Amino acid sequence: MAKVAFIGLGVMGFPMAGHLKVRGGHDVTVYNRTSAKAERWAAEFGGRAAATPAEAAKGQEFVFACVGNDDDLRSVTTGKDGAFETIASGAVFIDNTTASAEVARELYAAASAKGARFIDAPVSGGQAGAENGVLTVMCGGDAEAFDRARPIIEAYARMVGLMGPAGAGQLTKMINQICIAGLVQGLAEGIHFGKKAGLDIERVIDVISKGAAGSWQMENRHKTMNAGKYDFGFAVDWMRKDLDIVLAEARRNGAKLPVTALVDQFYAEVQALGGNRWDTSSLLARLEK
Ligand SMILES: NC(=O)c1ccc[n+]([C@@H]2O[C@H](COP(=O)([O-])OP(=O)(O)OC[C@H]3O[C@@H](n4cnc5c(N)ncnc54)[C@H](OP(=O)(O)O)[C@@H]3O)[C@@H](O)[C@H]2O)c1
């Protein structure tokens, strides 16, 4: 049993912190900006709710965070009453936020200055993956800190990998999002074309999903896309935040991402249709408008 804090009890963080308590059997203290959520978590899982990230992090062996973006992450770490005010020397800070590689390196340096370790550890698998404790976790940081954190992270994960030094976890998550962007657009175009051609989409997918065109998105999203339902998981606003991070990194490293850049603009059009909170498969709605 380890002494653990979890900062950020959103759609992802709430169940992830729950797995640390129930499945991992750890001593968990939580912090959430909107305190009602932290109190609800403490009532449900029996842990302690702290008033600030600094209070939550004090005396812990492992401190987790899962907040929105780079600035949110800075606010709960190096900001006023942030976790880095109190983090213990030797503690490991594990960040599950999808953020930039730049902020990961910056916070790795800030944690090191306190004698602590920072691991960027963005996740893939969505709300269902968090609730079922089967996330994929892509880590960047030191091997020694990773080896200590890995068994703790495994409480909410099916796959945990160390990808390289600080920032490598975020870079891997960027590749994940690049691969998804073009794929979902292809799936949307296929379904759109099938409908125009007068084919039975269920029948089409039943057959082609067993061949070379098959994908997780096809298996898990075709039914809801065909029904025009877009409230299943990862929101367009989050995807645009992620693609913004990806395209900024590509400008730095010189990678050419023409399809990713185009799909990002398509998501901007989905937002203009009112789809900010629709899930990422709503690229089909744009074709059918
Ligand atoms: N949802 C998914 O399917 C999914 C999948 C993979 C990765 N992710 C990534 O995981 C992260 C969290 O996603 P989510 O869906 O859990 O988001 P969410 O439900 O909106 O939760 C965000 C959490 O961050 C807290 N927060 C935001 N800004 C803050 C600040 N400045 N100071 C303190 N706390 C702050 C929020 O507190 P309040 O409760 O006070 O608002 C909330 O607890 C994001 O980086 C997202 O891209 C999400």
Q: Are residues 50 and 125 in the same domain?
A: yes
Report the residue among 67, 177, 236 best suited for mutation to probe ligand 1: largest number of ligand atoms under 8 A from its CB: 67
Q: Are residues 82 and 134 in the same domain?
A: yes
How would you classify the pairing of strands 123-124 and 135-140?
antiparallel
Q: What is the pLDDT of residues 106-140, one digit of tens each?
A: 999 999 999 999 999 999 998 899 999 999 999 99
Q: How far is the CA of 150 from the centre of ligand 1 (A)?
A: 22
- State the pLDDT at residue 232: 76
Q: Are residues 213 and 125 in the same domain?
A: no
Residue that is last in its domain, among 150, 165, 180: 165
Q: Are residues 178 and 159 in the same domain?
A: no
The CATH number of residue 261's host domain is 1.10.1040.10
Give the domain extent around 22.
3-165
Q: Are residues 159 and 101 in the same domain?
A: yes
Q: What is the DSSP string of 52-101?
A: SHHHHHTT-SEEEE--SSHHHHHHHHTSTT-GGGTPPTT-EEEE-S---H
Catalytic residues: 173
Residue that is last in its domain, among 145, 165, 185: 165
Q: Are residues 182 and 112 in the same domain?
A: no
65-84 average pLDDT score: 98
Q: Are residues 123 and 178 in the same domain?
A: no
Whole-angstrom Cα distance, residue 73 to residue 98?
A: 10
Q: What is the pTM of this model?
A: 0.96
* pLDDT band at residue 233 using 50, 70 and 90 as cut-offs: confident
Closest to 17 (Cα-Cα) out of 130, 119, 118, 116: 130
Residue that is last in its domain, among 138, 165, 192: 165
Q: How far is the CA of 197 from the centre of ligand 1 (A)?
A: 41
Q: Are residues 220 and 159 in the same domain?
A: no
Q: How far is the CA of 3 from the centre of ligand 1 (A)?
A: 23
Residue 9 pLDDT > 90, yes or no? yes
Q: Are residues 180 and 154 in the same domain?
A: no
208-221 average pLDDT score: 96
Q: Which residues have C-beta atoms less than 6 Å from ligand 1?
A: 8-13, 32-34, 37, 66-68, 72, 75-76, 97-98, 123-124, 126-127, 233-234, 238
Which residue's alpha carbon is at the smallest distance from atom 46 of ligand 1? 98
The CATH number of residue 58's host domain is 3.40.50.720
Q: Are residues 93 and 198 in the same domain?
A: no
Sign of CA dihedral 98, 103, 109, 112: negative
| Nearest atom, ligand 1, residue 37 CA | 39
- Per the structure, the count of domains in the chain is 2
